[in-house]
Each structure stands twice: as C-alpha cells, then as structure tokens.
Amino acid sequence: MRLFEYEAKEAFRKVGLPLPPSGLASTAQEAAKITGDLACPVVIKAQILAGGRGKAGGIKFADTPEAARETAAEILKMTIHDHQVRRVLIEQRLEIKQEIYLGITIDRSKRKPVAICSAMGGVDIEQVAEKYPEKIARALIDPILGLRDFEARQLAKNAGFEGKTILQVAGLLLRLWQVFIENDAELTEINPLIVTPDGKFIAADARLNVDDNSLFRHQALLERVGAGISEKTKLEQQAHELGMTYVELEGNIGIIGNGAGLVMATMDAVKYYGGAPANFLDVGGGATADRMCNALEIVLSHPDVEAVFINILGGITRCDEMARGIIDAQKTLPRDVPIVIRMIGTREKEGAEILAAAKIPFLNSMDAAAKRVVEQVTKRE
C-alpha cells in the first residue's frame, strides 16, 4: 500500500527526520489560513496516490494567503492520472543548495533490504542509475542485524560525501531505516533531501509503501482500505473487484494472460520486438468466458491501447472457455482494434475450432504472436 505524502511525512516526523513546517488543507480557505500561519512563501502540493503530479500541474508556489487560496482552489479541482485531488499539503518553500536521494527498499534477488544513497537527488533515481550509475551507492542490509552505524557512514562515504556531511547523511539513513522497520515497508525514500544554503538538511518529499501482508498490524491503514481510498485507478479498481490483477503502464499494446509469470513473460516478448505494453492483466487460473470478456472490456477502455495480445497457457484454465469469452466480448467491445491470440494447453483443439468458426486467427507460438502484435501497432502508426 502506498501512503500519501502527508502520511509518509507523519511517519518521518515520529522518528525525528527533519521536515519543513506544513499543514494539510481540503479547501482553498484552509490553504489560505495555513499560509498565513506559516507567514512565508509556500509550495502547494496535490495529495494523490500516483506519480507525475508536478508535471501535471499538481505542485505550485504561492507567496501570499490570497495567492494560496486561488492556487489551492485550482489544484483541488484537478484529476491527475485518474486520481481526483481531495487534499493539498501546504509547506514552507525551501531555498536549495543541493538535492540528495536517500532510499531503502527490498532487493528481491538478494532477499535483503538495500539502502541507496546518491548526491544526485530531485530526479527519478532510475534516470540517475541509467546515465550516472557511478553516482549511486548501495548497501545490502542484514535483516537480523539491521543497518548499523558504520555501514551507514560507509554508504554515505561511497556516495561521495565528505567530512561531517558523512555523519549527517548517515544519521538520516539510520532514521529512515527506523521508518522502514516500524512501518513494515517495501519502500521508503526521501527525494529530494534538501541541503539549504545554511547547511540544514530537510526532507522536501517523502514516499512510504507498506507491505500489504502487514496491514493487520496497522489499523489506520486498514480503515483506509475499508473506506475505499486506494492508489488504484478506476480501471485497476474495477479489475480488482472482478478478481483480476490489472496494472496500467505507459505503452499502447494491451496484454492479457492467465498467470502472473506468463503475463510478465508476454510483456518481455513484446518489448523484445520493440513494442510497449499498456498494461499488465492477469485473469487468473480457471478463468471463465465471462472473465475473459470483462478483461477485454477493461483493457480496451484505456484510450492508449492500439492492439491487444491475449496469451493463454491452458492448465486449469480451458482454451475453449477463453475462446468463447473473446467471441462474446467482440459483440460489445468499446473499440475495434487488432487482437492477436496465442492459445495452447487444456481443450486447445476445441478452442481452435471455436475461433476458426468465428474466423478469428490464432497462433501457437508466443514469439510469433508478440512479433505479430507489434507489427499491427506499427502498421496503424
């Protein structure tokens, strides 16, 4: 579960991480009052459970209470990446000398937490890793012993910090580790950690993702789930309610499969041939015709999808059921786009006969199907 920025900062505040003076507002009038109480220029930040809010206009500045009222009113009317803005965080605007990145997440290949530190904060850490990999320092953390003082100091040193700054950064890393442990986190990060002209360190942003399996230990978060407040988009929530796993991505090829591993392999195959997946949709094992029909409707409700790749490996999922679902869906689909089908496994012959009778082609090879769907998108371009 991803927490709102203000929730993450509350967790940061509990362990003593330095934060700018702030207040949370759900109306323009509240935003004006908070700005007046802070008595300084402020930044007004949309509180949504999605990234990219700055580029979408969800982070703006104001120098006076009246300006804050007008700006907050604009932001509170926005919907960013399918998330309606209901609250804004009003914070003191900071002067910036340097931006640093600090984060702790899980390295699943090593089965350990990993601490990450970089003197290049303020941008996506993935961009830094791609362009300047030498600027990122990492350290695996023993899950039993935790992050120790000397390890935090060494990590800060490896990131290029010197002198007393090593001790300051190490101290912040240790507090971030405390946040990670106390909140059963999968990820927590500060990006950017601001260094002000007078040498103070302040967490300008905060991210905290809590492991869903631990929610029974976090009553407030469970109540949020019960209230229906989610980081999911409307389509993701719709799929969840139907018992399917759906995640929106940024490409234009819809992906449907049965089983998370198969769907990920399908995405890899599409990317190998130069395509860009628009989603991850797993209909699950033993899926029915109705579920396949619903899956196609959800995928094609996204306006960016220009073609769909359906990849079925029949086990407890029957190919004839999937074929019937595809045919039923085509009667009511919101848009007409190319659909490439690969089906093998349980009742494959019957599924092939059903599709053939409807004059719907399909393939046996995942590679061939992936190449075909990418070609379909290229033709449309």
pLDDT of residue 13: 97
Please say whether the structural domain 98-221 has been given the CATH code 3.40.630.30. Answer: no
pLDDT of residue 231: 60
What are the residue boundaries of the structural domains of the chain, listed by start?
A: 21-92, 98-221, 234-380
Output the pTM of the full model. 0.71
Q: Which CATH architecture has domain 234-380?
A: 3-Layer(aba) Sandwich (3.40)
Q: How far apart are CA 215 and CA 176, in angstroms?
A: 20
Minimal CA–CA distance to 125: which of 159, 95, 149?
159
Please say whether the structural domain 21-92 has been given the CATH code 3.40.50.920. Answer: no
Q: What is the arithmetic mean of pLDDT over 223-233?
A: 63
Q: How far apart are CA 358 and CA 352, in angstroms?
A: 10
Q: What is the arithmetic mean of pLDDT over 131-153?
A: 94
Strands (E), the chain: 22-25, 42-46, 59-62, 79-80, 83-84, 88-92, 98-107, 112-118, 136-140, 185-195, 201-203, 207-210, 245-248, 253-257, 279-282, 307-314, 339-345
Question: Residue 279, exposed/middle/buried by CB under 10 A (0-12, 13-18, 19+)?
Answer: buried
pLDDT of residue 203: 97
Comparing 278 with 126, which gets the higher pLDDT? 278
Alpha carbon dihedral 33, 36, 37, 39, in 10-degree steps, equals: 160
For 256-309, write each residue's pLDDT tens digit.
999 889 999 999 999 999 999 999 999 988 888 999 999 999 999 998 999 999
Instruction: Locate 19 and state its tokens.
Output: 């934060």
Q: How far apart are CA 315 and CA 348, in angstroms?
A: 10
Answer whether the bond into residue 192 is a cis peptide, omega within 30°: yes
Q: How far apart are CA 370 and CA 271, in angstroms?
A: 9
For 191-218, write each residue's pLDDT tens digit.
999 999 999 999 999 999 999 889 899 9
Give the β-pairing of 112-118 and 307-314: unpaired
For 170-189, write each residue's pLDDT tens digit.
999 999 999 999 999 999 99
- Using the predicted structure, report yes or no on whether residue 228 has a pLDDT greater than 60: no
Fold match between domain 21-92 and domain 234-380 = no
Give the catalytic positions in this structure.
Answer: 101, 189
Task: Quickly state the pLDDT bin for 233 (edges 50, 70, 90).
Answer: confident
Task: Quickly state the pLDDT bin for 131 (edges 50, 70, 90).
Answer: confident
pLDDT of residue 230: 58
Q: How far apart are CA 274 and CA 181, in angstroms?
A: 40
